[in-house]
Chain A
């Protein structure tokens, strides 16, 4: 695929920081996030956004870690808005104040998304780890509504909270959310480390889908409900981010430019940094972005599969993490040679939860860093 045919990205995820007061055990940050602590400056983020706009990005998503730990967040969002981008902020909410909320409104923030871990303080605080956070989140959501934000609640679903879905929906209603995003955990990174404790049974998934659908109909016109099915329970993989290097890119806290936020789990694949090379060059020319772009690289059974333009062989990170080979068919596909890896995990989940939660924090991150450094990975 040459540069003439290469699509331009619509969407940029800015992971402004890996610092976070929460310790959610399914966090999408790298398991060894501690080593990527040298954050881009305000001026560097503004340059990244300017380059992204020229490249075709029209939507900027700001997340972390907790993006509110950065005092320059309103300034960065204002810059994105001045470039004509749609801006979306994902926050845990615990650091949200009247003053920061007013600054974000003034900066032109289009969409605010607040995470909840569960429907009540006891369960939510247990899942989020660290200091109690639930009550602060509720106050932040109320404040956001008062300030006139269009509020989305994000809840990651898994074995330990799927049974509380009715109460989670009631919480979103009570807080006056305009949208409720119910995304089942994706088992990469921290969630994969905690899979035995988080992966639900099929009965749980089916009951939750019915609950979500009933609420979607009941609340139509008042609150929009998005329910994202987990790929482990589907016959075919997801079109991860609509294809590698096709519509989406991530710039991580340290400036590393990634096709998706978990891509650096694919050890052996070299990613470039926005500090050292223009974003457009990285998008069009870097090895990492070209590696899995399009369908030419696909192995069998994907190459001769009629679905290959729909799902592009699934998630590269998942393929690598589960099989050790980034070029393998995503094992969640029922046609994948190594689908048994998923079937085995599901069978264990049917037998019940196992294992303690490993919380996403600096100590565990250091431990994973040492584990990873003790291994060698061949180039992809």
Chain B
């Protein structure tokens, strides 16, 4: 599932919220039926999904930060999963 275009502008769905859990010191993605505890990379990616930045911009920012060759695939794989679960939508 790598059909996510570089120009797409992802954002969190209205029903979804990113939260820093003070008690456990972990980032959480909260939605009606439950939650996900995010790993540091997922936290960075989701945190950049504001409906303004494009996928290409998110990849570029994280590529510089993590010095990683696989970041393009990591970002697109994660976003495809989150879009599949309706947690992330592409801004119109």
Contacts and interface: CB of A to CB of B under 8 A. Distances in A.
B17 A56 contact: no
Contacts of B32: 88, 110-111, 113, 152, 179
B23 A84 contact: no
Interface string B21-57: 1111000101111110000000000000000000000
Nearest to B85: A224
B71 to A, nearest CB: 25
A10 B35 contact: yes
Band of interface residues on B: 20 to 34
Contacts of A55: 23
Please tell me the size bucket of the interface on A: 20 to 34
Contact of B28 (A8, A58, A152): A58
A207 B34 CA distance: 28
Given A88-B32, A111-B32, A113-B32, A58 B86 contact: no
Contact of A58 (B14, B19, B33, B84): B19
Contacts of A224: 85-86
Nearest to B90: A221
Nearest to A56: B23
A52 to B, nearest CB: 11
A251 to B, nearest CB: 18
Interface in A44-101: 54-56, 58-59, 84, 86, 88
Contact of A84 (B13, B14, B19): B19
B65 interface: no
Interface in A189-232: 220-221, 224, 226
A227 to B, nearest CB: 12
A150 interface: yes
A178 B15 contact: yes
B80 to A, nearest CB: 12
B35 A59 contact: yes
A150 B13 contact: yes
A224 B89 CA distance: 12
A111 B23 contact: no
Contacts of B34: 11, 59
Contacts of B35: 10-11, 58-59, 86
A311 B21 CA distance: 27
Nearest to A113: B32
Nearest to B87: A224
Contact of A86 (B17, B22, B84, B86): B17
A58 B15 contact: no
B25 to A, nearest CB: 11
Nearest to B20: A84
Contact of B14 (A59, A150, A226): A150
A377 B32 CA distance: 37
Given A54-B23, A58-B21, A86-B30, 8 more contacts: A59-B30, A86-B17, A86-B35, A110-B17, A110-B30, A110-B32, A150-B13, A179-B15
A100 to B, nearest CB: 20
Contacts of B13: 150, 178
A54 B21 CA distance: 11
Contacts of A179: 15, 32, 86
Contacts of A11: 34-35
Contacts of A178: 13-15, 86
A54 B23 CA distance: 7
A226 B84 CA distance: 13
A226 B19 contact: no
8 contacts: A54-B23, A56-B21, A84-B22, A86-B30, A110-B30, A111-B31, A221-B86, A224-B85
A226 B17 contact: no
A7 to B, nearest CB: 10
Interface string A11-55: 100000000000000000000000000000000000000000011
Contacts of B84: 220
B19 A86 contact: yes
Contact of A110 (B15, B22, B24, B85): B15
A11 B23 CA distance: 13
